[in-house]
Structure 1
Amino acid sequence: MDLFLATSNKGKIIEISDALESLPIIIRTLDDFPPLPSPEETGSSHKDNALLKAHYYFAHSNFPTLADDSGLTVEALGDEMGLYTRRWGAGPDASDQEWVEHFLHRMKSEPNKRAHFTCILAFIDQDNQTYIFEGKCSGMVTDGLEADYLPGLPISACFIPDGQTKVFSALEIEQKNSTSHRGRAALAFKTFIRSKI
């Protein structure tokens, strides 16, 4: 089975590919298709945006398509981030380093470091049927970067999930997949798709 992983975020591709590694599938990425402009994310929820992206890329590829929309909600910042996490603060064109420096500077004066991640994976199969998989993870924002991070996922180096003593990006891949929002959503998808192939 071919699966189109519809994201330009290299870190997301690595994480989801790792979680699905044991499946008999061939993962396709945007690099396997002619260049496409990114769809405008106009949804009012992670589910809306994940579905929007899945439908857009399925229409252009005709491959079973898996799209991700994720975000971080920080208690001290209310609704500032969440749906707009990557576009928040330093701006949508900021580098990973610029983004995370702005984020940590903003969090420096906040005594409440509690936060939670949400990941929605939207899957469209060859018959144009749609399925949703969700993962959540709560934890604490650290005062600084505590490890290297995958490209496109700078927060993973300054977020310790509940029940762990290390930031996401310092965890072994199996630990991370069983703990993280994206790992949990991907494992739910894996259980589902295994019964279909």
Structure 2
Amino acid sequence: MMKTVVIATKNKGKIKELLEEFTGLPIKVRSLDEFSDLPTAKENGDSFAENALIKAKFYSQQTGMACIADDSGLEIDALNKRPGIYSARFAGEASDDQANNHKMIDELNNVHCVESSARYKCALVFYDVNGKIFQTEGICEGTIKIVPSGVNGFGYDPYFYLSDKKSMAQLSIREKQIISHRGEAVCKMKKLLAGYLL
């Protein structure tokens, strides 16, 4: 029996990655774009895990369906682990990837830094209408550089370099899922959901 699960994001990059990763599970995925006039969850947690739980619970209650939400972001050591939980809105509430990347480069320039150790973090939460909760997380270590490379991915990916000197934006979706923070969290979640749904 197929279970409908709402993915609590309108970010097409995230949806595409999650859709591919959850292949094989008896779930039908819907995105927030399919629901009109939904209020926006207030992400006022102090961590990725808290924000993911807030979103998953909120949109499950709003839609009456099981929900998966993630909260993820970038921690740059040279910027005291910022932008962190503010990664998606680093340049302001209505900011986009380009604005956020410009702000990141400006801040790195302000501290006279052309590259810094950094990590992507992801917290993923599944919240069902019966109150069942699963929570996983993933981390991907790398280096932020002020010179971008690659056209794939989204967010800070062109500036986030891995140990093999490739940026995250130079990877295919499959390559990215194998090593990324979200890929790690989703892989763990898929195992938990398989035990729950199959």
Q: What is the SS of the residue equivalent to 2:41?
A: coil
Q: What is the SS of the residue equivalent to 1:154?
A: coil
Which consecutive residues of structure 2, in runs of 5 or more, have no partner in the other structure? Answer: none
Give the aligned CA root-mean-square deviation in angstroms: 1.7
1:140-180 C-alpha deviation (Å, 9 max, x unpaired): 11222201244xx3201111133x33111211222211110
Question: What's the CA shift for 1:47?
Answer: 1.0
Question: What's the CA shift for 1:17?
Answer: 1.4
Which consecutive residues of structure 1, in runs of 5 or more, have no partner in the other structure? Answer: none
Question: What's the CA shift for 1:107?
Answer: 2.3
TM-score when normalising by structure 2: 0.90
Q: What is the SS of the residue equivalent to 1:27?
A: strand
Q: What is the SS of the residue equivalent to 2:156?
A: helix
Q: How far, CA to CA, are the matches of 2:81 and 2:174 in structure 1? A: 31
Question: What's the CA shift for 1:111?
Answer: 5.0
- Please say which of residues 64-73 and 100-109 is displaced more in the overlay: 100-109
- Match for residue 97 of structure 2? 96
Q: How far, CA to CA, are the matches of 2:172 and 2:158 in structure 1? A: 13
Conservation of the 8 A alpha-carbon contact between 2:52 and 2:125:
yes
- Please say which of residues 186-195 and 96-105 is displaced more in the overlay: 96-105
| Counterpart pick for 1:136 among 134, 139, 148 | 139
1:110-152 C-alpha deviation (Å, 9 max, x unpaired): 15510011100011124211111101111011222201244xx
Conservation of the 8 A alpha-carbon contact between 2:138 and 2:185:
yes
Q: How far, CA to CA, are the matches of 2:155 and 2:25 in structure 1? A: 28
Q: How far, CA to CA, are the matches of 1:144 and 1:94 in structure 2? A: 20
Conservation of the 8 A alpha-carbon contact between 1:161 and 1:179:
no
Identity of aligned residues (%): 32
Runs of at least 4 residues off by over 3 Å: none
Change (3 A) 1:166 1:154: same
- Match for residue 180 of structure 1? 180
